[in-house]
Structure 1
Amino acid sequence: MDHKEFKHLLDRYTQGLLNQQEIERLEGWLDAMEDKTAFESLDKEALSASREAMFSQLTRRIQEPPETARIVSYKRTLAIAAGIAAIVLTGYICRKSILDVVAPHRTTYAYNSKGYITKQILSDGSIVWLKGNSKLIFPAKFQDNERTVTLEGEALFEVSKDVKRPFIVSCRSLTTQVLGTSFNIRSNEQGEVSISVLTGAVVVGSDATRKQVVHTNESIVYSEKKASVVNVHPSRKDIHEFINGTEYDMAFNDASMHSVIQKIEKKFEVKINLEDTAILNNVITADMTDQSLAHTMEMISQALNLDIRINDKMVSLRAKK
């Protein structure tokens, strides 16, 4: 794809004018690029085209503000534009950067290969560990009223609590709805879907079966062919298998602060900075399993009397004065 075609497609993409074939062509080209070298293959004109298209989209998205807010909004627009321009000029804009601006609610895919576990952190902070030959379909950014994903295969879900937005998982013909909990879903080629709840409760149902609630340490097996649901109880071995190879288990018993920080950084993909290294002298006994990053850090704050600051993927810890 040369820079003229790139500019043409990107301009039409931001206006929502592309047909499905053109969308697949543009996104396929962006997919083929590695994040850190995403736009290094473009010449100056193509880089300028991408920047102009994004600026145009940002401008269109900002509604005409009231008279008293016009200066603030204008400065905000300039700040956003300047930030994008700086990223473009340093050659580090990637596919996600563009699409997060022009299509924040686009459908996104995560895949996993047999024998591996792939972690996906969703826009609401929910964590999904994909297992086996699996595929997760989800929006880059959830809507304001619900959070819906589609699973093919098997995954362990740790869903962030949000009473205003139910989390819905579609797996084959079975639907699982939760507000915030953790559970494992597994489907097979025989048309069976198994759901095992580790914490909380979920509501499951299909067009062929009535809805029912599955509680902590309970499992059901749904058969599409028989249109039936069988209740079972997972064993300790089953539960160990569900969480094996993931960072789900966050129970600590007299654990050094150093090891706790390492596990938190790995699970939530954040960087924790200590403003006072004396914090590392502490040990912690607590169960932070199935807790969001914010709640996890709050537990540490209360246990060690620390001030916590979370800024996107950066977390700062310091002793309270």
Structure 2
Amino acid sequence: MTDNYNNDIQQIDIDKAWNNLHARLQEDNLIPIAAKERSIFAMPVFRWAVAAMFALCLTTVVIRYFVPDRHKTPLLSMRNNDADNTLVKTLEDGSTVYLAGSSSLFYPARFANDSREVVMQGNALFDIAKNPEKPFRIETKKIIVEVLGTAFNVKSDAKGSFELAVLRGKVKVTQKSNGEFAYVVAGEQAAIVDNHWQKTKYTDTSLLESFTKHMKFKDEPLEKIVQVINRYSQRKVALQGEAIKTHKLNVQFYNNDVEGMTKVISLALHLKREVTQDSIFISQP
């Protein structure tokens, strides 16, 4: 994935484009014969029609320069406008993204064969599924983050400021402007100071809780929701029966209490819930 935030917009020869469009219309017999004997702009209605057509063509050209084709496959977008909830998404490789308020993530429906690449802006916690054969890359405005399998928090705004804290594993961060990189391990955080990496100790033990306290899921399969719950809950949730795993759910949890969350799931999907000392079982009634 190549950064194109600062691409120069190529100049467009407007007169030449008009002439080419006029010639094309003539070739396709889209201009009335009477109009060919005089300027096409002598006809007000037709002039505006051609102007609108050209504006559309011009807009398409400009968009191609402003938004380069950086991906061979379309990207899906995920944006969290809710400041009070974390939007949680499990990607197709099993990695989970906890997206804080006013944050965005762009990701493919399926990753490429040799890499996993996403684009983000804002504040997000990533829990990356380990896969040495397919590195995970996160692109922000000024930084590229590369990991194999780890958990970390990334903050990157539209102005280009950047912070990263690693909860588990090891992360490589690289500045796009000068290529300077640094490796950040669990218990460390990194930020850019005067165009250089600065690493310090990270001691905030409440980071995971801050992202999981109020979670929101949109059209997520029940199996994925339960996987997220089981990552930080001591009492495990088990789904009994293959059919219920694919049930999709839109739901918000206002605390990370596993009993409360499983009650909401069971009521919403009309499922049976059985509680034991160590586990909570959910099944068809």
Q: Please, what TM-score do these two structures have when normalized by structure 2?
A: 0.52
What RMSD in Å do the two structures reach over aligned CA positions? 4.1
> Within the alignment, does 1:157 sit opposite 2:151 as a pair?
no
Contact 1:104 1:140 in 2 (8 A): no
Q: 1:111 Cα deviation (Å)?
A: 1.1
Q: Deviations over 1:249-299 (max 9, x none)?
A: 8344467879868868999xxx9x88xx8xx45333xxxxxxxxxxxxxxx
Q: 1:250 aligns with which of 220, 224, 231?
A: 231
**Is 2:215 the counterpart of 1:232?**
no
Change (3 A) 1:263 1:202: farther
Which residue does the alignment assign to 1:181?
150
Q: Which secondary structure state, in structure 1, belongs to the residue aligned with residue 214 of structure 2?
A: coil
Task: Return the match for 1:214 from 165, 179, 184.
Answer: 184
Instruction: State the alpha-carbon separation in 2 of the partners of residues 140 and 254 from structure 1.
Output: 31
Secondary structure (helix, strand or coil) at the match of 2:100 reads: strand
Are 1:128 and 1:157, in contact at CA under 8 Å, matched by a contact in 2? yes
- The reply to whether residue 171 of structure 1 matches residue 171 of structure 2 is no
Partner amino acid, structure 1, of 2:181: K
Equivalent position amino acid for 1:219 in 2: Q
2:76 partner amino acid: T
Aligned length: 183
Secondary structure, aligned partner of 1:148: strand
Q: 1:118 to 1:215 in 2, by over 3 A?
A: same
Distance 2:149 2:230 in 1: 17
Give yes or no for contact 2:163–2:190 (8 Å, CA) kept in 1: yes
1:201 and 2:134 are equivalent in the alignment: no
Amino acid at match of 1:110: M
Query: Is the 8 Å Cα contact of residues 169 and 177 (structure 1) preserved in structure 2?
Result: yes
Structure 1 pair 210–132 and aligned structure 2 pair: CA distance change class (3 A): same
Check conservation: 2:121, 2:158, Cα contact below 8 A.
Answer: no
1:119-134 equivalence runs, <5 A: 119-134=88-103
Larger relative helix fraction: 1
Q: Once the two structures are aligned, what percentage of the paired residues are identical?
A: 22
How far did residue 130 of structure 1 move? Answer: 1.3
Q: Whole-Å Cα distance in 2 between the matches of residues 140 and 120 of structure 1?
A: 12
| TM-score, structure 1 as length reference | 0.47
**Higher RCO by CA contacts (8 Å cutoff, separation 6 or greater):** 2
Kindly state the Cα deviation for residue 222 of structure 1 after the two structures are TM-superposed.
2.2
Q: Which runs of 5+ in 1 are unaligned?
A: 1-18, 25-102, 285-299, 307-314
Distance 2:195 2:140 in 1: 14
Q: Cα deviations across residues 21-80 of structure 1 (Å, max 9, x unaligned)?
A: 5xx9xxxxxxxxxxxxxxxxxxxxxxxxxxxxxxxxxxxxxxxxxxxxxxxxxxxxxxxx
Counterpart of 2:102, as a letter, is N
- Counterpart residue identity of residue 196, structure 1: A
Which AA in structure 1 matches 2:203?
S
Residue correspondence of structure 1 range 287-302 to structure 2 within 5 A: none
Residue 277 of structure 2: aligned partner: 283
Map 1:131-146; keep pairs closer than 5 Å.
131-146=100-115
**Structure 2 unaligned regions, length at least 5:** 1-56, 64-70, 216-227, 240-256
